[in-house]
Amino acid sequence: MKVQTVTGLVAVEEIQLADGHGHVWIDPPDGLPPSLRLELKDDKAITAELKSFKNAGGSAIVDCQPGGCGRNANMLVRLAEETGVHLTATTGFHLEKYYPDDYWLWSAAETAAADYFVAELTGGLAEAASVLPTTLKVGYEGGLEGQSRVLMEAAAEAARQTGALLLFHTEQGKNVESLPLFFDRRGVTLERLYLCHMDKRPDYGLHRELAQAGVLLGYDTFYRPKYRPEQGVWPLLRHMVEAELADHIAIGLDFAQASMWRHFGGHPGLMALPDQIVPRLQAEGIDDSAIAKLAGQNVARYLARKDEEDDHSEDTNRTI
């Protein structure tokens, strides 16, 4: 199997240590309030950071910035070529608050939105036709109504047509229980769902059921004191590994703020994944095979689009 990156296809085996939920370049649209203007657009600082990440053993970053709210695929290509880090891009949509008031997607019909997602997934991104996205992002605040439902219906149709992985921004895991049935009923296998920020809701029973159903769970609160990682993500990780569910977890950093990048003068930097998180996993007694899955191999496996024959062989009836 192969993973689509911004510079072409790479074998799953080439992705060893990966930030499973990252933000490499963000150039936010005009008109947003200062509190929502997350910016990452100093190419020198970003290049230096990516090179440090690469030198520390990092091989890939899953970029989670969709079109209309800061994505620049041309910059992702340039940064990948200059640093040797495999970068992926995404189509789809984030939360409405990150867009200008008049952004077309928030009044689009389901068919128009689905056509847009499919066009980017199969024909290239709007700003860089040579770049195919790897994921389809869904900004999910926990509700299945209004325009959010319209866009989720469109995302389901696009994923069904293309086999793309659906990558969800969840609001602390709110109402994620509704997602497996919603997408299963629309012909999307649960192995195509990647629910991010789930460690903000460290409900072990819920995580166990989602993982057993085939969903990929994203954990990324390691450097967010607000979510008490010592009481949240770390015990949760131990429980999931002990339950032999390490195949369904992807570790990410989600550093969308320059203050978290070392070469912007912040802390801890992308090197935290190889230099701090991996050694901590080892200190927790997690074996090397499980660590390799958590820190890169799982997300690479889920990112790989499966052919039609593979899809038909999967069990599509697993729900929670």
Q: Let me know if residue 320 belongs to a domain.
A: no
The boundaries of the domain holding residue 40 are: 2-309
Residue 316 confidence class, pLDDT cut points 50, 70, 90: very low
Instruction: For residue 157, tell me if it sits in a domain.
Output: yes
User: Which residue would you say has higher pLDDT here, 306 or 249?
Assistant: 249
Please determine, for residue 257, whether its predicted confidence score (pLDDT) is greater than 80.
yes
Residue 307: CB partners within 8 Å, gap ≥ 6?
none
The domain total for the chain is 1
Looking at residue 205, what is its pLDDT?
Answer: 98
Would residue 268 count as lying in a domain? Answer: yes
Q: Is there a domain that residue 123 lies in?
A: yes
| Structure confidence by residue, pLDDT tens digits, 8-37 | 999 999 999 999 999 999 999 998 999 999
In a domain, 318, yes or no: no
Q: What pLDDT score does 123 carry?
A: 98
In a domain, 203, yes or no: yes
How high does pLDDT run on average in the chain?
95
pLDDT of residue 311: 42
Report percent pLDDT > 70 for the chain.
95
What are the pLDDT digits (tens) for 112-152?
999 999 999 999 999 999 999 999 999 999 999 999 999 99
Three-state secondary structure string covering the chain: CEEEECCEEEEHHHCCCEEEEECCCECCCCCCCHHHCCCECCHHHHHHHHHHHHHCCCCEEEECCCCCCCCCHHHHHHHHHHHCCEEECEEEECCHHHCCCCCHHHHCCHHHHHHHHHHHHHHCECCECCCCCCEEEEEECCCCCHHHHHHHHHHHHHHHHHCCEEEEEECCCCCHHHHHHHHHCCCCCHHHEEEECHHHCCCHHHHHHHHHHCCEEEECCCCCHHHCCCCCHHHHHHHHHHCCCHHHEEECCCCCCHHHCHHHCCCCCCCHHHHHHHHHHHHCCCCHHHHHHHHHHHHHHHHCCCCHHHHHHCCCCCCC
Residue 153 has pLDDT above 80, yes or no: yes
pLDDT given at position 68: 97
Q: How large a percentage of the chain has pLDDT more than 90?
A: 95
Lowest-pLDDT range of 47-56, 99-108, 304-313:
304-313
Dump pLDDT digits (tens) for 186-236. 999 999 999 999 999 999 999 999 999 999 999 999 999 999 999 999 999
Is pLDDT at 289 greater than 50 in this prediction? Answer: yes
pLDDT score of 306 more than 80: no
Which CATH number belongs to the domain containing residue 119 in this structure?
A: 3.20.20.140
CA neighbours closer than 13 Å in the CB half-sphere of residue 252:
31
The answer to whether residue 314 sits within a structural domain is no
Q: Does residue 118 fall inside a structural domain?
A: yes
- Which tens digits make up the pLDDT trace of 70-111? 999 999 999 999 999 999 999 999 999 999 999 999 999 999
